[in-house]
Structure 1
Amino acid sequence: MTIVWDERGGATVERDGHPQSYVNPDDPLLLVFEYVQQFALVLEALRPDPAPLAVTHVGGAGMTLARWVHRVHPRSPQIVLEPDTALTELVRRELPLPRGHRVRVRPVTGQEGVAGLRDASADVVVVDAYDQGRVPPELAGSRWVRELDRVVAPDGLVLVNAADERGLRWVARLCATLRERFAHVGQLVLREVAAGKRYGNVVVVASRRPLDDVSLTRAAARAPFPSTWRSSEQVVRLSAGAPPFGEIGEPSPPPPDGGVLRLR
């Protein structure tokens, strides 16, 4: 794993040959990877109040979104589940978290960490964990979704950074699995990925309560890259016939280009 600095004062955290995070320690509001921008747009749309949020992050790397949450929602209690202790130590040394943060890093896998959380303890769970550029099968199946359902507050959100090939069939199955416990599952996605032009990331948003499609559509219009919001009804229609995963899911398709992520 390495940290590569650039001329803007920011740093890219790389692991297994794949860029994992971009961090500018002096500007936590600078979000460079497209899917992190989309995470922030979703939270701005659905949680506009700057009150603290209890956020659990499955996957840590540079903790870019945790830094953003700390700035936008001060005093937010956050838990980061990151089993790679060497990575965490590197980030803490080279990219220390801001003063006054309430971020706790636990050196466990997502499954282990979420299993140890109290019922309804998280306002938001962000799932952004990859192994060799792929979402692990353990973070896609019905067993995992049941655990998310247990730890997310009644009005809480689940945000997933998914990735798929053209056609988004794996993402369709993931959404079908999430709908087993969360009635409303939408997608914020780049237009060219939605159009089936290339492999890419999809931010999946799951909730028990209806999602604010008007605010999320406006959020998509503000995205630095042309993006679109797919409502829960659209996702159901587009993924018709996609079966949910079993107890353990399947890994997401491998990236064809070494996992290169587009920058703003």
Structure 2
Amino acid sequence: MSRTPRPGPRPGRYPVRFGTAELLRDADRGNAWLVSVDGVAQSYVDLDDPANLEFDYVRRFGDVVDQLPPGPVDALHVGGAACTLPRYVAATRPGSRQLVFDADGELVELVRAQLGLRVPGLRVRVTDGRAGLATRREDSADLLVVDAFERATLAGGLATLEATRATAGILRANGVYLANITDGSGLPFARRFLATLLAVFPEVLLLADPAVLKGRRFGNLVFAASAAPLPTAEIARRTASAAFPSRCVDGAELRKLAGRAKPITDEDAPPPPQPPNDVLGLF
């Protein structure tokens, strides 16, 4: 008996917890899709080629992941949307075990229905990021990724010293923490987030577009942190030769960037940066 083929994704607008999601097909790639919420890009997924990373900051995530020791990893992702990076990890590191926490249950169900979530080794759980972190065992992850935004701003409580210490406890001795944040002129939030990471992890590096790093425009900044030495030279070479090169900052230069900024805490948390309206569609 033949089975009815599963219908393909349907472009359209769908209500979700944090607004209205829109699913758009990439006109240049037949089975690649952009997911946005209230006009803010959330994920780009190529169902035919999960290794195709469209967003620059996700490529920087991929650059770091590719430098991890060979073989499968145990990964925890706080913030999932269409699960672009988990799909990449599953494709490039077969046998990996991955868990995604996402607070938007309606968006998770939309992605499951339209783009599929039957990715080997992947589980998705609907929960707040901090609540999810509290359920994880110590020394249980090789990779922990925070990329959780609500209405274009970083989900609350994920950038604090308390959350960062919890993250460090979940990671194994050689584990790597990856985080995506956004900031603009003067990088006030990024400097405090950097100070937070430096208070917990002995090894930290930053990847960003030079214009964003200089505070000339609003954009993404990717941080990598670990208790073990990071392959900074290899990551720097790769990001410098990318189609849209990023700067890799570490060591004394990174500490200079942090300056006298104070770590973010649950009791002293600044409001997350608000992107200008003219750049909302970029993130």
Normalising by structure 1, report the TM-score. 0.93
1:85-112 Cα deviation digits (max 9, x unpaired):
111111111111355x110001101111
For the residues of structure 2 that align with 1:181 and 1:239, how far apart are their CA atoms? 14
Which residues of 2 match residues 109-258 of structure 1 at below 5 A? 109-248=128-267, 249-256=269-276, 257-258=278-279
Q: Which residue of 1 aligns with 2:4?
A: none
Residue 136 (structure 1) shift: 2.7
For the residues of structure 2 that align with 1:95 and 1:121, how far apart are their CA atoms? 29
Which residues of 2 match residues 4-19 of structure 1 at below 5 A? 4-7=24-27, 8-9=29-30, 10-19=32-41
Point out the more displaced range, 211-220 or 152-161.
Answer: 211-220
Q: Is the 8 A contact 1:188 1:228 kept in 2?
A: yes
Q: Which residue of 1 aligns with 2:87?
A: 67
Residue 48 (structure 1) shift: 5.0
Residue 184 (structure 1) shift: 1.5
Residue 120 (structure 1) shift: 1.0
Residue 229 (structure 1) shift: 0.4
1:32 to 2:32 alignment:
no
Unaligned runs of 5+ in 1: none
What SS does the corresponding residue of 1:259 show, helix, strand or coil? helix
1:42-85 Cα deviation digits (max 9, x unpaired):
1113x151x11111000010100000000010010000001211
Q: Is the 8 A contact 1:135 1:252 kept in 2?
A: yes
Q: More relative contact order in 1 or in 2 (CA 8 Å, sep 6+)?
A: 1
| Alignment length (residue pairs) | 259
Larger Rg: 2
1:80 to 2:94 alignment:
no
Higher strand share: 2
> Aligned AA for 1:167?
G
What SS does the corresponding residue of 1:179 show, helix, strand or coil? helix
Provide the aligned C-alpha RMSD in A. Answer: 1.5
1:43 is matched with which residue: 65, 69, 80?
Answer: 65
Identity %: 37
Q: Is the 8 A contact 1:41 1:223 kept in 2?
A: no
For the residues of structure 1 that align with 2:271 and 2:159, how far apart are their CA atoms? 8
Unaligned runs of 5+ in 2: 1-20
Normalising by structure 2, report the TM-score. 0.87
